[in-house]
Structure 1
Amino acid sequence: EIRQEPLGLEYLAAVLQQQGHQVKILDALASGKKRVIPLPPQLAYLQQFYPPDDLSPFKLFTRYRHFGLDFTEIRDEIIRFVPDLIGISAYFTPYFDMALGVARVCKSVFPNVPVVMGGHHVTAEPEDTLRKGCGVVDYLVLGEGEVTLGELIKVLEASNISQLRHLAGIAFRNENQLRVNPPISFIEDLDALPFPVPEIPAKFKMILTSRGCPRRCSFCAIAKVMGCRWRRRSIESVIEEIRFAVQHGFDQIDFEDDNLTWDRQRAKELFRALIKDFKGQSKKVTFSAMNGLDTESLDEELIVLMAEAGFQWLNLPLVSSDSHVQRQIHRCQSQEKFVQVVNIAARNGLKVVAYLILGLPGDHVEQMLRDLVFLSELPVLLGPSIFYPPPGSAIYQYCLEQGYIRHGEYILLRGTAFPVETPAFQRRDLVTLLRLVRVINFIKYLADQISEHEMLFQKYLASHLSRGHETLIFDHKLSRLEIGFILLNSLFALDKGKLRGLRLKSKTQTCYQYEWLSYVINDEIVEKFLQLLDGKRIKDVEGKAEFRF
């Protein structure tokens, strides 16, 4: 359930319910269903990078899956509700075709019911959405939707369609013309919005304490929806919402702000309020901020307050440590300050995930490798993202101009598809780097989890594995940890520089036979990685143990 709460839909529903409308949210992901489906032809090139049946802790993905309800189940839910208006979220660009598919289902059963689409993708690409959604999407809500959607419904209820041309923040077809009315303002009084309430009980609750991002990073397009000016809720309003959530059974609160600590003093005030209201209560409440922290805005006092309030992890963006890349993406930060914040967090019992983006235009393999080794020596887990350019961002336009992507090929714009290749790196290079991140994180996990039994298994491997064997036979099913030991031996000792996987070939009641699984990677990058790692110490996430190479 982590980060799958449809917070935007909950805000819309709360506002519309306050206005007297009956609203139902259909969260198609909440079912937890998933099934393997054929790989779309546009993604066929990925098969070489994602071999099936890989048992390695360094594996990436093995199957292409559909998550959530299928179109038939969605159709049945819509029929059951008999709506007067249907809203569809099209937030993530690579799933835009799925959103259009839902719109077609809606029109197939209720052809006269207005279909409204909103979300980031729609806001960034309104004309394209109207063209591709012709006949199934009637209106678009651009930017923040809480006020605009309510105004649109008033116009439709009054059958006063001529007023649509005066309504800011919408797009629609006017006969054969596309009409786009950009948003002209953003919601100023965030405290006036009703609390968003999930329809499905859970333990995890997202909270927004502010909106807007002044940073203007070239790889991000959040300002298209939330604006460039930072707007905040009062501390009292935030605490009241958290109390409401806790009373309704939630005990894990995640702050989803894009800039939670933008105003350092306000952040300290918030965390002191959390300590006052929730520390020491009979029901333990933990907090997280999976988004919106920045090392430049963090100091020791603030980090101590976060630890005392009930935070257990800090999610910190490194993005890239290269100053040239930072200038290109308009995201400059000090490497020295990053290390300082990581060490303060470790001293205060906070674990850190360090996020970096692999494959940014302007970056190169050597620098990305240096970033991996740099982070391996810190008490952090590595959180890699493969770069993809979101529509509406400055870097999206740059990638179009350079010919790295083609407009409209939205299904490719996901990290798992490695959509951007440049003269400095290819997909195979990025796949290799991503697998090396898996190796580093597994070693960090080992440093804290290794036991005497596993050390004995390691010695057994060292004496029994030999070069050239294509199969490995054991009298028991190997654990993930044991498979990891075998593969680390292959990488660092047995066949130095051989990064590969393992799959189960056959089994009987007393015999498990495994075989090596070759990866499509760049072996030169692996070799360079081992050279850079020589003499370095990989630290575990708590800074209490390390491996030296």
Structure 2
Amino acid sequence: MTDIVLVQPPIRDFYLTRKRTFPYGLSRIAACLRSAGFDVTLFDGLATDRKRPLPVPQALQEAADLYGPPDASPFGLFHGWYHFGFSFEHCAEQIRKMQPWLVGISSLFTAYSGEALFLAKTIKKIHPKCKIVLGGHHPTAFPHDLLEDPDVDYVIRGDGEEAMTALACRLKTGRPLEGVPGLAFRDATGKAIAAEPAVVADLDSLPPPAIDLVRLDRYSRRSRPALVVAASRGCPMRCSYCCFGGDSSLGYRRMSWRRVMEEIDAALSRYDVGFIDFEDEHVSIDREGMIGFLREFRTRYGNRRIELRAMNGLYPPSLDPELIREMRDAGFRTLNLSLGSTDPVQMRRFNRPPVLEAFDRCLDAAAACGMDVVGYILMAAPDQTADASLSDLLALAERRVLVGASVFYPAPGSRDYGWCAEQGLLPSERAAFRSTAIPLSHRTSRLQTVTLMRIARMINFIKHLMDMGFDPAHLDAAIDGDALSERESNGAMLLHHFLSDGRIRGIDREGNVFFHRIDEATAEAFRAAIPSTRFRGVRT
């Protein structure tokens, strides 16, 4: 038997990026519960390779139709809807066997809130005596909605470490629940009462995460365990699309770099970690502190060949050549840079200053250090046109960078979410609050968005060919040669056809070529711009 089980639910989507599902937040809550004397287990519903095909939900059918049939070429997008992870029934049965009296379920994203709620109901059905609490960004935004379900006993809003520990202590001793930070619950009359979100002001006061409870074998890179670290929470900026910025009630807070090093020391003393991802919204804001940390990390672990990354994106104005060199020397091989857009008007709409000049300086510094760069832009946002996004893609085509094209979705709590709500543009179902649903059709239609996504794939494929030494203006050598894989050869052939007639094709696994649905004007604008675009590779 165990006192408390913390659960990462399975999810349903077109795809799963395992490296972005590391249950870091649950491991931090587990550490606090342990410190208070509770026996805790972390059950990860995604810690398996299992996936099961399912019918596409009605809320995502339009997007699925636009993605089209399976495409084995480099220009393919998504196909097939899957349940990733253990079944709900398996999760519930494993939890029942542990006989916890409290179960905490993570519900980070609104798009997956249905899975978290269904798991709660499945657990309650076979283990009705346990109390169930949901926490994460979605419960923080919608506590009253969740408490309308009788299978949800409590909701924690905001930071979960101190709140979950306080709730567990109150339940164990039978004391009243009033005053538990961030707690939403029903009072004796059945009325839902929701406290303001809990905030851990001093992150240094928290114990290191309980990494030993995480299935590190499921989160590995090149056969070595991967680790996630968050040196801060929130962000001081106020970008319109972000729910964690300066407008958030949680505010911006950070750990001391000393404490970050202690957290890493604790993990590396036990595990042969080969990859560490800093999941901060703005990890490089403290330049001098970060440089000191990087130098100390290199001194302690430089011989262990650990790759460092900040996959959530780095803010270009916060970087400079010296800092980038220090990052390279400590283990960074790739810079993930947040560009947003090259259009100053769109950047004002995002409530962000233009960063293109700083972005270019970062590219030069990264090239001097032999580092790769991914540049992220946002497409199909409110008031954003397809022409503006195409200009962004062409700007990245001319730079030594891999294109990272992200599709906008309205994040509850963000300014853009509020604007979309006022304009009646929010999806009718919460399952559609994800990029893969192409949730917004404002000044960029959904067909234009999918066309832009394929153009981004085409640009990255052209860059790939250039890095291999091929001239995209003379594709016959690539098509007829034996230097390319079958997939690469098919891509070169389809690219050749596109340059001829402006139609984007796919190819199935039997070699049959078919046409994708596209916005013809957007595709033709891209084709017309290719002769005057000075393409560069990712490394050349």
Alpha carbons of structure 1 residues 297 and 455: separation in structure 2 relative to 1, 3 Å: closer
In structure 1, distance between residues paired with 2:247 and 2:195: 14
Match of 1:159 in 2: 174
2:361 to 334, 340, 357: 340
Question: Is 1:481 the counterpart of 2:488 in the alignment?
Answer: yes
Match of 2:158 in 1: 143
Shift of 1:58: 0.4
Consecutive unaligned residues in structure 2, runs of 5 or more: 1-17, 218-224
Match of 1:278 in 2: 301
Match of 1:412 in 2: 432
1:230-245, aligned counterparts within 5 Å? 230-245=252-267
Match of 1:47 in 2: 64
Output the amino acid matched with 1:23.
V
Shift of 1:83: 0.8
2:476 to 458, 462, 466: 458
Match of 2:3 in 1: none
Question: Is 1:541 the counterpart of 2:538 in the alignment?
Answer: yes
Larger radius of gyration: 1
Output the amino acid matched with 1:273.
E
CA contact (8 A) 1:261 1:293 kept: yes
Shift of 1:99: 0.6
Alpha carbons of structure 1 residues 451 and 432: separation in structure 2 relative to 1, 3 Å: closer
Shift of 1:15: 1.0
In structure 2, distance between residues paired with 1:345 and 1:200: 34
Match of 2:445 in 1: 426
Output the amino acid matched with 2:357.
E
Shift of 1:292: 4.6
Match of 1:181 in 2: 195
Shift of 1:224: 9.4
Match of 1:325 in 2: 346
In structure 1, distance between residues paired with 2:276 and 2:485: 37
In structure 2, distance between residues paired with 1:226 and 1:256: 18
Match of 1:467 in 2: none
Question: Is 1:360 the counterpart of 2:381 in the alignment?
Answer: yes
Identity, % of aligned positions:
34
SS in 1 for 2:43: coil
1:11-410, aligned counterparts within 5 Å? 11-131=28-148, 134-160=149-175, 163-174=176-187, 175-183=189-197, 185-198=199-212, 199-202=214-217, 203-223=225-245, 229-247=251-269, 248-279=271-302, 281=303, 283-406=304-427, 409-410=429-430
Alpha carbons of structure 1 residues 379 and 48: separation in structure 2 relative to 1, 3 Å: same
In structure 1, distance between residues paired with 2:145 and 2:277: 34
Match of 1:509 in 2: none
SS in 2 for 1:88: strand
In structure 1, distance between residues paired with 2:490 and 2:249: 48
Match of 2:498 in 1: 491
SS in 2 for 1:156: helix
Shift of 1:305: 0.5
Shift of 1:462: 7.7
In structure 1, distance between residues paired with 2:458 and 2:352: 28
Output the amino acid matched with 2:378.
I
Alpha carbons of structure 1 residues 289 and 128: separation in structure 2 relative to 1, 3 Å: same
Alpha carbons of structure 1 residues 208 and 460: separation in structure 2 relative to 1, 3 Å: closer
SS in 2 for 1:431: helix
In structure 1, distance between residues paired with 2:282 and 2:288: 13
In structure 1, distance between residues paired with 2:313 and 2:501: 40
In structure 2, distance between residues paired with 1:404 and 1:36: 30
Output the amino acid matched with 2:156.
V
In structure 2, distance between residues paired with 1:457 and 1:329: 39
CA contact (8 A) 2:70 2:76 kept: no
SS in 2 for 1:382: strand
Shift of 1:46: 2.5
In structure 2, distance between residues paired with 1:128 and 1:366: 39
Alpha carbons of structure 1 residues 124 and 347: separation in structure 2 relative to 1, 3 Å: same
CA contact (8 A) 1:211 1:226 kept: no
CA contact (8 A) 2:400 2:537 kept: yes
Match of 2:520 in 1: 523
SS in 2 for 1:537: coil
> Scaled by the length of structure 1, what TM-score is found?
0.89
SS in 2 for 1:62: coil
In structure 2, distance between residues paired with 1:31 and 1:304: 38
Shift of 1:98: 0.5
CA contact (8 A) 2:232 2:280 kept: yes
In structure 2, distance between residues paired with 1:262 and 1:443: 34
CA contact (8 A) 1:143 1:224 kept: no
SS in 1 for 2:237: coil
CA contact (8 A) 1:377 1:536 kept: yes
Alpha carbons of structure 1 residues 185 and 55: separation in structure 2 relative to 1, 3 Å: closer
CA contact (8 A) 1:216 1:228 kept: no
SS in 2 for 1:216: coil
CA contact (8 A) 1:186 1:227 kept: no
Shift of 1:223: 4.7
What RMSD in Å do the two structures reach over aligned CA positions? 2.4
Question: Is 1:9 the counterpart of 2:26 in the alignment?
Answer: yes
**Can you list the C-alpha shifts for 1:434-471, whole angstroms capped at 9, x where unaligned?**
0000001111111123589x9999349589xxxxxxxx
SS in 2 for 1:26: strand
SS in 2 for 1:195: coil
1:444-455, aligned counterparts within 5 Å? 444-449=463-468
In structure 2, distance between residues paired with 1:444 and 1:184: 46
**Can you list the C-alpha shifts for 1:27-81, whole angstroms capped at 9, x where unaligned?**
1111121121111122222232122331111000111111001112112211221
In structure 2, distance between residues paired with 1:320 and 1:456: 31
**Can you list the C-alpha shifts for 1:381-411, whole angstroms capped at 9, x where unaligned?**
011111000111111111111121146x210
CA contact (8 A) 1:210 1:260 kept: yes
**Can you list the C-alpha shifts for 1:117-151, whole angstroms capped at 9, x where unaligned?**
000011011112222xx211000111001001111
SS in 2 for 1:166: coil
Alpha carbons of structure 1 residues 354 and 270: separation in structure 2 relative to 1, 3 Å: same
In structure 2, distance between residues paired with 1:58 and 1:490: 13
Shift of 1:517: 1.3
Alpha carbons of structure 1 residues 529 and 137: separation in structure 2 relative to 1, 3 Å: same
SS in 2 for 1:259: coil
In structure 2, distance between residues paired with 1:108 and 1:44: 31
In structure 1, distance between residues paired with 2:96 and 2:534: 60
SS in 2 for 1:539: coil
